[in-house]
Amino acid sequence: MNETVAIDTLGTERLEIVSSADRLAAVESAWTELWQRTDSLIFQSHGWISAWWGTVRDRDQRSLRIGLIWNGDRLVAVIPLAIGRRKGLRFLEWAATSYTDYGDILVAPECSQSALDQLWARVWSKGGFDIAFINRLLPDAAAQRVFKPGVSGGIKLRRDHREEVSYRVAGQWANGAEWLATHPKKTRQNYRRGLKMLEEAGEVKFRLLAPDEPLAPVLERLSVLKRRWLVQQSLESDLFQEGEAVLAALVDVLARAGVLRIFVIECNGAMVAVSINIVQNDVMMAFVTTYDPEFSRASPGMVLIVDYIQWSIDHGLRMVDFLCGGYAFKSRFATEGVTLQSVLGARTPQGKLASFADRVRQKIKNRRAIGSEQATLPEEAA
């Protein structure tokens, strides 16, 4: 379906909202040029958003709301949003939010703040959603210029209680072995014990996949292992469902952008642990890691993580970023953590009611937590 492109003019800057796949495809070259010029993360690239939109299973329940700012024929800002449905409500959120660890906008230095404010106001006034939920904001995200708590232009946003922590490994080590030596004796023993148990099962090899190796068998193996793990945890994920194309599409984007790094541990030639990682700006980002549950006693996932951290240090990378997800191993190896913030705004009566109920539930939860902590304090401390 073709889209009639509606553009508002503000001096030399023009505003546009993309809501169709045809128009999304048409702006690829301009978007990619801006993405490269701003040295932004892969999550904000045209390829990432398009791969998600082209493979998402419930696209008929979603709508694009991608804001653009043009200066002449040059694209100077992108606010990549979309509308999805959950729990009977329509949410305005990051496009590809399920697979995007850091949400952000693209903005060139010459783009004016007034144009950004006007574009956000236009997205808001276009409607079609009950709640705007903008999450996973890094403290230095460019999106902080747009999604500010408070009231601006009649739009009220508040800081939401849903925060996440991104754990990282960063420091000054001569090599990976020196980094490992800084850890407690038990951690080092667990790593060596896991490696020894794998070696008892057969020949063990840690390696980085070559750029020309076929990806399909690796992704199939990873998805099979991840589904087994999800079943054990009573969890689900569209990313790894059999027959779904989204994982292959996203990995293809990483490969074409030259940022894909896939690490594996093989035992007798079979992959027992796999990690799909991303390298940008001298940072290794761990996107997906999984292992074969049949080898769980050897903790091959942990062995692989230690190996790719050492590899990263040995190859001069300045940081390993575990991205989102509060798994215990992240805090165990991390040297620092960064809090990702979120903001929320209700647009419709249904959205305002749901937002109010959520705040009440959170206050009750906080009071119960405080009461529980006080109940466990020694009498003299209480």
**What's the token pair of residue 351?**
């959205």
pLDDT at position 57: 85
How high is the mean pLDDT of the chain?
A: 91
Secondary structure (3-state) at 7: strand
Mean pLDDT of 265-272: 94
**What's the token pair of residue 128?**
């079609």
% of the chain at pLDDT higher than 90:
79
- 4 pLDDT band, cuts 50/70/90, is very low
pLDDT at position 282: 97
**Taking 80 as the threshold, does the pLDDT of residue 7 lie above it?**
no
Q: Quick one: how far is CA 311 from the chain centroid?
A: 23
pLDDT tens digit sequence for 341-358: 999 999 999 999 999 999
Mean pLDDT of 182-210: 95
Please report, for the chain, the start and end positions of each structural domain, with discontinuous segments joined by +.
7-164+340-346, 171-317
pLDDT at position 283: 98
The region of weakest confidence among 28-37, 251-260, 360-369 is 360-369
pLDDT at position 239: 83
**Taking 70 as the threshold, does the pLDDT of residue 373 lie above it?**
no
- 141 pLDDT band, cuts 50/70/90, is very high
pLDDT at position 372: 63
Mean pLDDT of 98-113: 96
Residue 186, CA distances (Å) to 167, 183, 232, 265, 299 in order: 21, 8, 27, 22, 14
Fold of domain 171-317:
Aminopeptidase (3.40.630)
pLDDT at position 381: 37
pLDDT at position 374: 53
The region of weakest confidence among 7-21, 86-100, 103-117, 289-303 is 7-21
**What's the token pair of residue 220?**
């199939």
Strands (E), the chain: 7-10, 13-18, 63-71, 74-86, 89-94, 106-107, 131-137, 150-152, 155-159, 164-169, 204-208, 260-267, 270-280, 283-291, 319-321, 336-346
Cα–Cα distance for residue pair 214/204, rounded to 1 Å: 21
% of the chain at pLDDT higher than 70:
93
> Is 111:145 a contact under the CB 8 Å cutoff?
no
Options 3.60.150.10, 3.40.640.10, 3.30.830.10, 3.40.630.30; CATH for 7-164+340-346 is: 3.40.630.30
**Taking 50 as the threshold, does the pLDDT of residue 370 lie above it?**
yes
> Is 137:340 a contact under the CB 8 Å cutoff?
yes
Which tops the pLDDT comparison, 2 or 360?
360
pLDDT at position 380: 43
Say if pTM beats, i.e. exceeds, 0.95: no
Q: Tell me whether the CATH fold assigned to 7-164+340-346 matches the one assigned to 171-317.
A: yes
Residue type for 201, please? Answer: A
pLDDT at position 150: 92
In 3D, which of 248, 278, 250, 274 has the Cα closest to residue 263?
Answer: 274
pLDDT tens digit sequence for 158-171: 999 999 999 999 99
**Taking 60 as the threshold, does the pLDDT of residue 219 lie above it?**
yes
